[in-house]
Amino acid sequence: MFDTPVQHNVPRIHNLLRDPKELFGLDGGMEETGVQNLTWVFPVVAAEILKFQATLAEEPPVPFPAPSGWTPD
């Protein structure tokens, strides 16, 4: 909790039912309870990110901070 923040190249994925303290990542490392197989998450999340980015090309997000009375172009 008080460690120095670190930016990872890929998102950290945790199974909160098996690892509520988020001690182990994607590969598990939980020999006593079995390795977590969460590799299916990356293709699903990547597809959703691509769909979201396509919507941003069609409709740009509201700029921050948007002035009062701002209307999209």
Band the pLDDT of 34: cuts 50, 70, 90: very low
Band the pLDDT of 45: cuts 50, 70, 90: confident
Percentage of the chain beyond pLDDT 90 is 12
Angstrom distance (rounded) from CA 44 to CA 24: 21
Domain boundaries, the chain: 1-61
Torsion angles phi and psi, residue 3, rounded to 5:
-75, 160
Band the pLDDT of 25: cuts 50, 70, 90: low
The DSSP letter of residue 19 is -
